[in-house]
Structure 1
Amino acid sequence: MTAKDEVLTSSGYIQHHLTNAQMCTVDGSIAFNYACADAGFWTWHIDSLLFSVGLGVLFLFVFYKVGQKATTGVPGKLQCAVEMLMEFVSNAVKDSFHGRSPVIAPLALTIFVWILLMNTMDLIPVDFIPEAAKQILGVPYLKVVPTTDMNITFGLSLSVFALIVFYSIKIKGITGFVKELTLQPFNHWAFIPVNFILETIALIAKPISLSLRLFGNLYAGELIFILIALMPWWSQAALSVPWAIFHILVIVLQAFIFMMLTIVYLSMAHEDH
């Protein structure tokens, strides 16, 4: 019996697949899912954390093993793929980043590969892993695409935001950073309040736009896969295969956009006016 058989309505099936496996503390004891409705802010989405951390470890393990076994001779297929990926990211950094930092290229590579891996989980059939987890582990809810969870996308974007502020202060100094917020775009003391409001909004908009763009595109794609799963079984392949092929473009593009915007924002943070 699948999750779809147990949930009688289409809306119930959709809601089931859009619900995270939640863990919280209620009255000093650990509770799960619906018991966490009144738990407030500190509710852990354990499925998003599990898959995001697991995919991050997978990325580090594969690249570490490739680095250990790298050869100057004829490379294997995996080494060739990793080298092509690193060259692609390196060229993107050289074209867009105008400062000097040993951190930006590894950061860009990490962001691109990690988000790409998380996005790729969207291509797994929607009932496959959740149903297996239910039958084997007794887990009632499980979302396998971390980037359809706003907590994950905001966490990524807030990390980038912290780096933007850090490098802005490091390169320009606190005085230079304050001047950037108060004396642009109108370089006159009378416009300091207006400049501060405009520049603060522009600064805060960076992490918000990063997170919502990634979340919105992947959430919409996941929702379409769920709607296709509600169709009769004989029509699902005809709909899901074309959408999956198109969605590959979305998966790669969203990882690339997040990486490129991170590089551009950090390049702006390194500019000392």
Structure 2
Amino acid sequence: MASENQTSSEYISHHLSNLTFGNHPVDGWGFAGGQKAAEMGFWAIHVDTMFFSILTGVFFIWLFKKVADTAVSGVPGNLQNFIEVVVEFVQDNVKSIFHHNNPTIAPLALTVFVWIFLMNLLKLIPVDFIPYIAGEMGLPYWKIVPTTDINATLGMSFSVFFLIIYYSIKVKGVKGFAAELSLQPLGKYFIPFNLFLELVNLFAKPVSLGLRLFGNMYAGEIIFILIALLPFWIQWVLSVPWAIFHILVIVLQAFIFMVLTIVYMAMAHDEHEH
């Protein structure tokens, strides 16, 4: 429930602020949120984003290792069945999109899909539950969904971008990659124009990839927060249907990020004639 000591705008601002650590001293510890956090500059760290992204990543590794260590060839349990379905689902997508020989792509796609799904899934926890516990522990801000932080989504998307550059150069060589950027789509007589178009297209990939995930998850978070401001009996009427619908959004956004990652990796491996 929204705090009685906060206005609606203060409540929304509080729930959308990260616990930030940087070089702007607050209460002797360097933690802040909101405007003071913005003053810390580029190297400030969103502690809550880092905590929950690492936590879900460790959980992902532990869960899949546990299933791998206890897997049976006979009649599998429900958890093994579920994990096998997820793995086969990712493998099918990789096989249908990526037609090259690179054993790294399938594990990359699986990691992207499951990790983002787990981070998105945190959104289904009631918006006041974890912040209330954090407040009781003396933490003024504690935002729990890493994918509602643009720093996290752009961090993941630019990691994919660096892999695009790496595999483009590895497969095509520096000369081949440079030719791809400068000789398409209009040929060697329009190199400056080609280079401009291809560079814009190249850098648009990570930006759109990160912003798409952030925008959808951030918008959903705002809806949950607005619902929490309503009277208690109306909250249940609205929050349950929205949460059920948001399960689809959570899975869909993880799926889109995974598919686009596979597509971009395939494009990095494709060689073009110039």
> Per-residue displacement from partner, 1:34-79 (whole Å, max 9, x unpaired)?
5444221111100000000000000000000100000101001100
Deviation at 1:13, TM superposition (A): 0.5
Deviation at 1:104, TM superposition (A): 0.2
Paired residues of 2:149 and 2:214 also in contact (CA < 8 A): yes
Q: Give unpaired runs (5+ residues) of structure 1.
A: none
Deviation at 1:6, TM superposition (A): 2.6
Q: Structure 1 residue 249 and structure 2 residue 252: aligned?
A: no
Q: Which residue of 2 aligns with 1:122?
A: 123
SS across alignment from 1:5:
coil
Deviation at 1:32, TM superposition (A): 1.2
State the TM-score, normalizing by the size of structure 2: 0.95
Paired residues of 1:21 and 1:45 also in contact (CA < 8 A): yes
Q: Structure 1 residue 91 and structure 2 residue 92: aligned?
A: yes
Q: Which residue of 1 aligns with 2:139?
A: 139
Q: Which residue of 2 aligns with 1:224?
A: 223
SS across alignment from 1:20:
coil
Q: Which residue of 1 aligns with 2:174?
A: 174
> Per-residue displacement from partner, 1:188-215 (whole Å, max 9, x unpaired)?
2x20000000000000000001000000
Deviation at 1:25, TM superposition (A): 1.9
Deviation at 1:170, TM superposition (A): 0.3
Deviation at 1:4, TM superposition (A): 1.7
In structure 2, how many angstroms separate the alpha carbons of the residues matched to 1:201 and 1:30? 42
In structure 1, how many angstroms separate the alpha carbons of the residues matched to 2:186 and 2:143? 47
Paired residues of 2:2 and 2:229 also in contact (CA < 8 A): no
SS across alignment from 1:161:
helix
Q: Which residue of 1 aligns with 2:149?
A: 149
> Per-residue displacement from partner, 1:91-144 (whole Å, max 9, x unpaired)?
000001011100000000000000000001111100001101111x21111110
SS across alignment from 1:192:
helix
**Residue identity opposite 1:134 in structure 2:** G
Deviation at 1:12, TM superposition (A): 0.6
Deviation at 1:187, TM superposition (A): 1.4
In structure 1, how many angstroms separate the alpha carbons of the residues matched to 2:73 and 2:105? 26
Q: Which residue of 1 aligns with 2:214?
A: 215
Measured at CA, do residues 268 and 60 of structure 1 come closer, stay the same or move farther in structure 2, by a change above 3 Å?
same
Q: Give unpaired runs (5+ residues) of structure 2.
A: none
Indicate the percent of aligned positions where both proteins have the same amino acid.
Answer: 59
Paired residues of 1:148 and 1:215 also in contact (CA < 8 A): yes
SS across alignment from 1:25:
coil
Give every structure 1 segment of 4 or more consecutive aligned residues whose post-TM-superposition deviation is greater than 3 Å: 34-37
**What are the equivalent positions in structure 2 for 1:30-69 lying under 5 Å apart?**
30-34=29-33, 35-69=36-70
Paired residues of 1:3 and 1:131 also in contact (CA < 8 A): no
Q: Once superposed, what is the RMSD of the aligned Cα atoms?
A: 1.2
Q: Which residue of 1 aligns with 2:158?
A: 158
Deviation at 1:30, TM superposition (A): 4.4
State the TM-score, normalizing by the size of structure 1: 0.96
